[in-house]
């Protein structure tokens, strides 16, 4: 599965497939005591997952919520030397890591599951190409690109 994740400003993202069909969208819902809440919606607008920032600063962390319960914790582990974001759930853990911000490998339980490549658009804004092996794909995977964008902030640009 290959998805294109494009930040559209204001904490919003458009997620399309390679044929430019809208698959998901990410919107900023509201703030919870100063922490932004981001929601992942499917093409019909149904809210699938919620991502809440729990720590700000150079190494932010997030919680991904599904059906009002904690589904996964997200933690930015490294910014400069081998940039890395960890995603830890009840039964699965993922790692988005690489030598540079523009090319990160996605690993699930240590096994290569895909990659996140950052491309620069003509307007100088980033565009993320998220490729995931079908065996590892699930609806929450597009939030990995959103979390990487939020963790590495303007470093990818």
CATH T-level fold of 2-152: Porin (2.40.160)
Domain-wise residue ranges, the chain: 2-152
Distance of CA 112 to the CA centre of its chain: 17
Q: Across the 157 residues of the chain, what is the mean pLDDT of every consecutive 10-residue run?
A: 90 92 88 76 92 86 93 88 90 92 92 94 89 94 92 60
SS (H, E, C) 35-99: EEEEEEEECCCCEEEEEEEEECCCCCEEEEEECCEEEEEEEEEECCCCCEEEEEECCCEEEEEEE
Residue 30 has a pLDDT of 67
* Residues 6 or more apart in contact with residue 122 via CB below 8 angstroms: none
Residue 131 has a pLDDT of 96
- What CA–CA distances, in Å, run from 117 to 5, 13, 70, 104, 149? 10, 16, 28, 6, 11
């Amino acid at each position: 599965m290959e998805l294109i994740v494009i930040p559209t400003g204001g904490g919003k993202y458009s997620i399309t497939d390679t044929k430019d069909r809208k698959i998901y969208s990410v919107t900023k819902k509201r703030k919870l005591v100063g922490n932004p809440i981001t929601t992942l919606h499917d093409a019909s607008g149904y809210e699938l997952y919620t991502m809440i920032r729990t720590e700000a600063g150079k190494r932010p962390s997030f919680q991904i919520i599904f059906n009002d319960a904690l589904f996964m914790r997200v933690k930015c582990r490294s910014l400069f030397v081998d940039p890395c974001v960890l995603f830890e759930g009840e039964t699965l853990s993922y790692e988005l890591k690489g030598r540079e911000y523009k090319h990160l490998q996605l690993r699930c339980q240590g096994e290569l599951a895909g990659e996140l490549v950052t491309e620069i658009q003509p307007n100088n804004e980033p565009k993320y190409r998220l490729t995931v092996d079908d065996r590892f794909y699930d609806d929450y995977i597009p939030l990995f690109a959103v979390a990487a964008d939020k963790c590495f902030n303007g470093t990818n640009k």
